A and B are shown apart, each in its own frame.
Chain A
Amino acid sequence: MNNAFAQLIKNKRVVVCVGSGGVGKTTTSAVIALHAAIEGRKALVLTIDPARRLANSLGLDTLSSEMMRIPIERFTAVGVKPKGELWAMMLDMKESFDRVVERYAPPAERDAILANRIYEYFSTSLAGTQEYAAAERLYELWDEGGFDLIVLDTPPTTHALDFLDAPKRLEDAIDNKALTWLYKPSLLAGRAGLGIFSTGTAYVAKTLAKFTGAELLDEFSVFLRNFSVLFDGLRQRSGQVRKLLTGPDSTFVVVTAPDALTIDEAIEFFKKLGKEQVQVGGFVVNRVRTPWVDPDDLKRPAVTVVGALVESHAHFENISPESLRDLSRRLIDNARDFSILSEVDKTSIARLTSVVPTHVPIQKVPFFSTDIHSLQGLDLVRHAMFKLR
């Protein structure tokens, strides 16, 4: 097989699927891992979505945060003979981040962090924590070495790099001067040059407390003080994660829908990742609409379609000529409806193609008429994605 996308997946041990929300990232990730498993590798898909129907179609009730083996031998029912293993696991973000705390916080701070109300409500919404937790878990599983391929389905985000930058962003968010002042007030004692803090500290503090309430500041400062002990561990580990994700074993696949807005976002991802020396190995464009009919044929009068239908000797005799003309008109209108959508897709994919170097494959998966959440459906997607015949 000399298909560039199939080749790409074959040569990698880690595939990270990134993209906007609602573009079929979870299904794409699952199909990539499924294909590798069918080809004989031991593959794991890490998803962030319980994806009930996807799980059902793979023979599971639901995906959970426990690692589960998918019974892919069921694919023999659709004429496929799987040679490897497929495993799946859902990432629970809160749980993943709790693991990070448990790993890096000294025992004294650990419980205080986990019990803090700010942590409880905001640990999964602080800048980049979700992405970091996912990357961290990926690294752990890769490090254990049990799989030939790990496919990571990432949280929908508009910043592809939250992923790699998460530890740094976390640190920036917490380690800036203003916040340090909150949880290490002694640092500032006797120091000048911090502008308004050295001259009007009391007034600012008073205003701030009036604004937020003193309790929030207290709770927040406790959280920050405890949380800051994680930094050394995070910094060290994030270096290793970054090395894995930018190294030769890994590739990023940008998943997108074919509409103009989503393609714009995909191009943004591509550019940003490139700036960070992250290799985007390929694109998957899902749900590409089919141009059923040549645009010229949409202009033909309905009567010529009537002619073609009548000529077929099918049982049109029970239909009045008016109804038949009406049916023909609707046939043309319907084909025109889809032609409009197909043009939209063609234009935006052309824009993507013009930005992306030719050696990076852009794989188009059609918008199917049937539900893809079944063995046949997933196999249909697999065939389209890996250009199998």
Chain B
Amino acid sequence: MGKSTIASAFALSCARRGERTLLMEMNTQDKVSAMFGVDTVGTEITEIEPNLFAVNVTPAAAMEEYAVMMLKVRVIYRAIFENRIMRAFLRAIPGLNELVMLGKAYFHVTEEENGRHVWDKIVLDAPATGHGIFLLQIPNVIMSILSSGHMFEEAQKISDLMRDPKITVLNLVTLAEEMPVNETAMLHDRVSQEIGMPMGVVIANGLYGRQFSEEELSLLEAAQKDVREPAVSRMIDAARFRVQRANLQEKYLHEIDETIKLPRIDVPFVFVPQMNSEALAQIATAFSSAAEDK
């Protein structure tokens, strides 16, 4: 669906509007660095463009940050949490990894320095649908199993922030195609009903755009029979392909509007061999006016 691309482009548009922005990848193979042409983004926050910072959150790193914060002393953390058996244990506790990763995101949401928020905007590139729902429902799941303790309190804090429309908004990224639209509609319903997160916009990515009007295409097709040059005939084939695909996408844009009641932002397909910062900047312009957000 191009979720990472959209998250990166959106973060870039925020940064260029002057917001101090943190782009978070969630324990995945880092894609941000390749798109921006910078060194690998790891678990340390690094600046990749003026005003734009990135980090790849891993459960281990998030756990350490959290535990050190809780236990106050790093030496004690080492003694307890870096023990081999203990680590195996922590890995196995259901939901803990997801919780500490969300916990890190929301730590930065509330992080202050000299009475001011450190970050104007935090953009989280969440996992794809199935894992995404799992991640986002973890605080609620934990609250339903527990009734006290650190994990419970942490889950409650995160859950409150996640559902606060002044703080959080969930934007959906989809393609104007059969399976992605269905999946996104399902995601939309489940997140709004089961998790209660505020929803922002639905972003239709990779739109071909109609390069030729129907009249132009019918003229070209009429001419094709008599065109003697094969190369020009093939160009007309390519034009037909573009128009047919664009028509198909338009049909699915209607379906998006029917099934997902959110404002829609259209993002054009970028015909480049590999995503780079120039192409990202091009996509970012789609957000500059549209997504006025949190």
Which A residues contact B (CB, under 8 angstroms)? 21-22, 26, 49, 51-53, 117-118, 121-122, 125-126, 156, 173-174, 176-179, 181-182, 194-197, 203-204, 207-216, 219-220, 260, 290, 292-294, 297, 300, 305, 308-309, 311-316, 319, 327, 330-338, 340-341, 343-344, 369-371, 373
A212 touches B96 (CB 8 A): yes
- A334 contact from B86, B128, B150, B242, Cβ within 8 A: B242
B80: interface (CB < 8 Å): yes
Question: Are A293 and B146 in contact, with the CB atoms below 8 A?
Answer: no
- The stretch of B190-198, B222-230, B282-290 in contact with A is B222-230
30 A-B contact pairs sorted by A residue (CB < 8 Å): A52-B182, A118-B94, A178-B88, A181-B85, A195-B85, A207-B71, A209-B149, A211-B150, A212-B149, A212-B151, A213-B148, A214-B149, A215-B145, A216-B93, A260-B274, A293-B231, A300-B231, A308-B227, A308-B229, A309-B220, A309-B223, A309-B232, A311-B228, A314-B222, A314-B223, A331-B238, A336-B271, A344-B273, A344-B274, A373-B178
- B211 close to A330 (CB less than 8 A): yes
Give the chain A neighbours of B224 by CB distance below 8 A: 312
- Taking the closest CB of chain B, its distance from the CB of A24, in whole angstroms, is 9
Q: In the complex, what residues of A have CB within 8 A of residue B240's CB?
A: 369
Contact B85 A297 (CB under 8 A): no
How many Å from the CB of B250 to the closest CB on chain A? 12
Q: How many B residues, CB 8 Å from partner?
A: 66
Instruction: From known contacts A204-B86, A213-B146, A311-B228, infer whether A335 and B271 are also in contact, taking CB-CB under 8 Å.
Output: no
Cα–Cα distance between A386 and B117 once the two chains are bound (Å): 59
Q: Is A211 a contact partner of B86 (Cβ separation < 8 A)?
A: no
> Is there an interface contact between A340 and B271, defined as CB atoms closer than 8 Å?
yes
Other-chain contact of B216, A213, A313, A327, A336 (Cβ < 8 Å)? A327
Task: Flag if B85 contacts A337 (CB, 8 Å).
Answer: no
Determine if A369 and B244 form an interchain contact, defined as CB atoms under 8 angstroms apart: yes
Majority secondary structure, A binding face: helix
Say yes or no: B94 contacts A215, CB within 8 Å.
no
Bound CA–CA A260/B29 (angstroms): 14
Asked whether, in the complex, the Cβ of A369 is within 8 Å of the Cβ of B241, the reply is yes
Give the distance to chain A from B226, nearest Cβ to Cβ, in Å.
4
* A293/B238 in contact, CB under 8 A: yes
Q: Give Cα A108 to B71, complex, Å.
A: 41
* B234-A293 in contact (CB<8A): yes
Interface string of B54-94 (1 = CB under 8 A from A): 00000000000001001100000001100111101100111
A338 touching B86, Cβ below 8 Å: no
- Given A212-B150, A330-B211, A337-B271, are A196 and B226 neighbors across the interface (CB < 8 Å)? no
Q: Which of B206-264 contact A (CB under 8 A)?
A: 211-212, 216, 219-220, 222-229, 231-232, 234-242, 244-245, 248
Chain B residues with CB below 8 A from A335, complex form: 234-235, 238
Q: Determine if B147 is an interface residue (Cβ-Cβ < 8 Å).
A: yes
C-alpha spacing A181/B84, complex, angstroms: 14
B107 at the interface (CB under 8 A from A): no
